Amino acid sequence: MALPQLIQLALALLPTVTTGIKEFIAWIDSLKGAAQQSGEWTADQEAAYRAALFAKTNDPAYAPDPA
């Protein structure tokens, strides 16, 4: 699914959202930022992205259910 399609989907959903409004808006904002990207990331942006990915290993939301 292309980003513009995702944004359209999110906008269409917005009036009906009943759960997780704050997270939903943050999600739309990130999609908007991605769609508006016009150039390649700088080295700092690249490093920040990778650091954020590795930080998710400590995020409880990314941990599977206990067996």
Chain positions contacting other proteins, by CB under 8 A: 1, 3-4, 6-7, 9-11, 13-21, 23-28, 30-41, 46, 49-50, 52-54, 56-57, 60-65
- Quote the CA–CA distance of 32 and 50 in Å, as a whole number: 20
Closest distance of CB 22 from other proteins, Å: 10
Closer by beta carbon to other proteins, 1 or else 44: 1
- Quote the CA–CA distance of 51 and 45 in Å, as a whole number: 10
- Quote the CA–CA distance of 27 and 30 in Å, as a whole number: 5
Closest distance of CB 61 from other proteins, Å: 4
3-state secondary structure (DSSP) of residue 58: helix
